[in-house]
């Protein structure tokens, strides 16, 4: 009954992932920047909304823990994990400040602030990037569609060539794993 639909979804996903291979230079630029950040004693701060919040937590966990190989822990923080902070900021200020206020307290010059979004238009993420840049953070967007407003203010962007939210998210997860694997390869060889 749904065989055609299932096959179509697989074909769409494979197509977007295949087209994402064209992002190799952008991905390498992000990897180089992350390696430089870690080598210089800085950290990566990650956030997103909804499913992208979960992806930000997964991404941070791969750096702090490990991806495939033993190595020293790498400093990464997801700003989507502390419900007390998130609800206090949302209640006392507004949802639009949940990332900017946290960036104000922890971003230092040389840190990377990494935003994951399918649209690139969430006000709380735009505010987070603006605040991070004011405090010397380097902003990277992993985005979809045309990259939205975040693409216009990001220091670096990777934009998935799709307008379909689920297909964008699937490709984003693969790119996050590529970043983790290559960064880890670099640091495990230095262990």
Domain range for residue 138? 3-188
User: pLDDT per residue over 38-59, tens digit each?
Assistant: 999 999 999 999 999 999 999 9
Q: What is the CATH number of the domain that holds 53?
A: 3.40.50.10490
User: pLDDT per residue over 100-133, tens digit each?
Assistant: 999 999 999 999 999 999 999 999 999 999 999 9
β-bridge pairing 44-48 and 112-116: parallel
Q: For residue 175, what pLDDT band results from cuts at 50, 70 and 90?
A: very high
The mean pLDDT of 149-158, rounded to a whole number, is 98
How many domains does the chain contain in total? 1
- Distance CA(44)–CA(111), nearest Å, equals 6
Model confidence, pTM: 0.96
Position 2 scores a pLDDT of 77
pLDDT(177) > 70 = yes
């Amino acid at each position: 009954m749904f065989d055609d639909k299932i096959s179509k979804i697989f074909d769409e996903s494979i197509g977007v992932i295949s087209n994402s291979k064209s992002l190799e230079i952008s991905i390498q630029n992000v990897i180089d920047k992350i390696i430089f950040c870690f080598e210089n004693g800085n950290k990566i701060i990650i956030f997103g909304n909804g499913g992208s919040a979960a992806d930000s937590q997964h991404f941070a966990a791969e750096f702090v823990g490990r991806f495939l190989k033993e190595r020293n822990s790498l400093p990464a923080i997801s700003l989507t994990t502390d419900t007390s902070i998130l609800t206090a900021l949302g209640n006392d200020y507004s949802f639009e400040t949940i990332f900017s206020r946290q960036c104000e307290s922890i971003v230092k010059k040389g840190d990377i602030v990494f935003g994951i979004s399918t649209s690139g238009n969430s006000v709380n993420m735009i505010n987070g990037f603006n605040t991070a840049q004011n405090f010397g953070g380097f902003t990277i967007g992993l985005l979809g569609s045309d990259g939205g407003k975040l693409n216009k203010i990001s220091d670096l962007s990777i934009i998935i060539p799709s307008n379909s939210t689920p297909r964008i998210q699937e490709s984003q997860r693969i790119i996050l794993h590529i970043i983790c694997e290559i960064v880890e390869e670099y640091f495990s060889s230095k262990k």
